[in-house]
Amino acid sequence: MKYLLPDTETERLKFRMVTQGDFEDWMPLFEAPNVAKFLGLDESLSQRELCQKWFDKVFHRYENEQGGMNALISKETGKMVGQCGILVQAIEGEERLEIGYSILPEYWGKGFASEAAQKCKEEAFKREFSDRLMSTMHVDNIASELVAKKNGMSWEKTVDIDAHGAMNVFSISKSEWSKK
């Protein structure tokens, strides 16, 4: 499956495909404030409905060669700490590759998003998936913006995306990455 990174590892994480069996473990994400808003989901939906929408999107991507999220499993505990992956996204009519990441609230602030996002960037450039990668986030999602900056990305532009509202686009080229 194109752009997926199962069996990839970092110092603290193992990547694998998301499965239906991960649903209950992923539910706590949607208890946190602003998560639905930041992910462009309908904030009026219940926690279970939001999680179902997320899983529908993950499996739709898998089935349609649009990249996808990998479950991030802690090597230390064996528990899922988040999801991260390379996604095919359309921004202003242009198809691009995005590094997407979401971490379960109990693991926020521990560097897992940055660790996983950096690995996705390295793999994408090494495997020549694209010459430029991006991460997008709601303009109010400062934590995700910091992850993008830690991943060597710079602000490119702000775009208006239907369900999401205003989104910041951060990006890095392969040549910028190779100079670091």
**What are the boundaries of each domain within the chain?**
13-128
116-137, pLDDT tens digit by residue?
A: 999 999 999 999 999 999 999 9
Tokens 């590759």 belong to residue: 97
Write the DSSP string, 98-131.
EEEEEE-GGGTTSSHHHHHHHHHHHHHHHTTS-S
- Residue 2 has what pLDDT? 85
- Under 8 Å CB-to-CB from 153, ≥6 apart: which residues? 133, 134, 135, 170, 171, 172
Tokens 């392969």 belong to residue: 174
Residues of the chain short of pLDDT 50, as ranges, are none
**Is there a contact between 113 and 104 (Cβ–Cβ < 8 Å)?**
no
Enumerate helices (H) and strands (E) in the chain, giving the number of each: 6, 7
What backbone torsions phi and psi does residue 93 show, to the nearest 5 degrees? 80, 0
Q: Using DSSP bridges, classify how beta strands 132-138 and 94-103 pair: parallel, antiparallel or unpaired.
A: parallel
- Residue 163 has what pLDDT? 62
What backbone torsions phi and psi does residue 152 show, to the nearest 5 degrees? 85, 5
CB atoms within 10 A of CB 103: 24
- Residue 115 has what pLDDT? 98
64-77, pLDDT tens digit by residue?
A: 999 999 999 999 99
User: Spelled out in words, what is the top-level CATH class assigned to the domain 13-128?
Assistant: alpha beta
